[in-house]
Structure 1
Amino acid sequence: MGIGEDPRYVRPALPTSTYYSSEGEPIPYGQRWGEDGPPEDAYSVLNHPERFAALHDVAHALIAHLTATFDVEVDDNQSTINDLLRQPEAVVESVRVTPRKAGTASLTFVLTQPPGVIVHAGVLHDFAFPPCSCDACDETAESAADRLELLVLAVTAGGYSERYPVGWRRWLGYGLTAADGSAEESGQGDPGSIVPDRLRSAKARLRDVPNGWLPWPPGEHRQ
């Protein structure tokens, strides 16, 4: 079971493939760099982005799990990509899952090309999986799937909070606690180009959930 995993959710099998460099050597993604870190030129290289294609399967499995487990509405209209704060270049599919309970955070899954998944959670945060697919970051499908599942299952369990404005800089922030309490993360930063109307709307909604977003309601078959 992965970090923070819901025992009712089962990750689809991820393909085990070997990827090769231009010299024909196997690339050990996930363990390429030692203590000195990656070379500078690795940040400009994007080899084998296809290794993240299975994240689309993971996203579909998570959406199916949410639909089967919780009392939700599902909207697969392409317009749901507008939930994202910043638009990706190539979108394959966009699905919003909204729990039927006040004070809960919806999740919008946007599947992209090159293969990846962006999840908009709540009102002010987008999370990308992988956050970067360059060779320097050395991400794998498994590590990206771990973090994707942690986010989604934490949100449904009520382990997600957002804050705005934070401090005199009026930053936005978030906190995330795994569904089983095994991991935590948080972050904050400048709202950047988020339009003022969206910030005002988010501020009003977050005022109603000062202790974080509530757990999702179970579906009738889970009562």
Structure 2
Amino acid sequence: MDSYRRPRIEPVEFRDADGVVIDYGNRWGGESPPEDSYSVLSNVERFRPLHRVAAALIDALVAVYEVTVEDDVSLASDLMHPRGDVERAVRVTPADPFAASLTFVFTSHPSAMIHAGLLHDFLYPVCTCDACDEDWERIADRMEWDVQTVVAGGYEERAGRSGVGFRLADESGTRGGSGRSQDIPRARLDAAVRTLSGIDTWKVWPRIR
């Protein structure tokens, strides 16, 4: 997306009990994290910049592609699993019905989520516990790549009674996952199966002429 630039975000330092700056993303030096760190959620405000990244991605999509934009918290119902901490939800729908829509969800935790196409949600971050040691810059890298890959026509979904799955792919690599069809409401699954039966891979988003 040639119109996108990551917003400039001033770094914020977080310190431990001894006053030492925490180097998120590198805390455990390749070793296994302490057992008690899995149950701790500290300094989750470090993920707040992801809201600005998501908003900048929306602006870039609107500037370049032929889309319809809806901004309403009720659109968080697109998510596969309900959230009770939604602050904002924005659905960006490309003009081509064979291109995958994106619904951006901003939560108060804070985190961001994107529902892509019909049956898959992407979480940023996936987990906020201290053991996972996520830092927002790396998560933003993944969010940007996911959105750009969907828009470029590199997103595939599959659905059936035997399971559901997705694949994201471009020249730099691939990412995918799968899940149980039993975990999806029957009506939603059946509708997705009907739609996806005519789509091998979601199409490239049409640009504004």
User: Normalized against structure 1, the TM-score is what?
Assistant: 0.90
Counterpart position of 2:199: 209
When structure 1 is superposed on structure 2, of 127-136 and 29-38 the one drifting more is 29-38
Cα deviation for residue 164 of structure 1 reads 1.0
CA contact (8 A) 2:159 2:181 kept: no
Question: 5+ residue gaps in structure 1?
Answer: 1-5
CA contact (8 A) 1:73 1:98 kept: yes
Give the alignment of 1:111-130 within 5 angstroms. Answer: 111-130=106-125
1:63-89 Cα offsets, whole Å, 9 max, x none, are 000001100000112221110011122
CA contact (8 A) 1:119 1:127 kept: yes
User: Normalized against structure 2, the TM-score is what?
Assistant: 0.96
Counterpart position of 1:191: 181
The alpha-carbon distance between structure 1 residues 174 and 196, as it changes in their structure 2 partners (threshold 3 A), is same
The alpha-carbon distance between structure 1 residues 20 and 191, as it changes in their structure 2 partners (threshold 3 A), is farther
Cα deviation for residue 12 of structure 1 reads 0.5
SS of the equivalent of 2:100 reads coil
- The amino acid that maps onto 2:124 is F
User: What's the C-alpha RMSD, in Å, of the aligned pairs?
Assistant: 1.2
When structure 1 is superposed on structure 2, of 65-74 and 79-88 the one drifting more is 79-88
**1: distance between equivalents of 2:181 and 2:42?**
31
- Aligned-pair identity in percent equals 44
**Quick one: which of 13, 17, 38 aligns to 1:18?**
13
SS of the equivalent of 2:166 reads strand
Cα deviation for residue 193 of structure 1 reads 2.9
**2: distance between equivalents of 1:192 and 1:22?**
45
Give the alignment of 1:147-166 within 5 angstroms. Answer: 147-165=142-160
CA contact (8 A) 2:3 2:63 kept: no
Give the alignment of 1:75-114 within 5 angstroms. Answer: 75-114=70-109
- The amino acid that maps onto 1:119 is I
Cα deviation for residue 20 of structure 1 reads 0.8
CA contact (8 A) 1:15 1:54 kept: no
Residue 30 in structure 1 maps to residue 43 in structure 2: no
**2: distance between equivalents of 1:7 and 1:38?**
39
Residue 172 in structure 1 maps to residue 172 in structure 2: no
**2: distance between equivalents of 1:95 and 1:191?**
26
- The amino acid that maps onto 1:199 is L
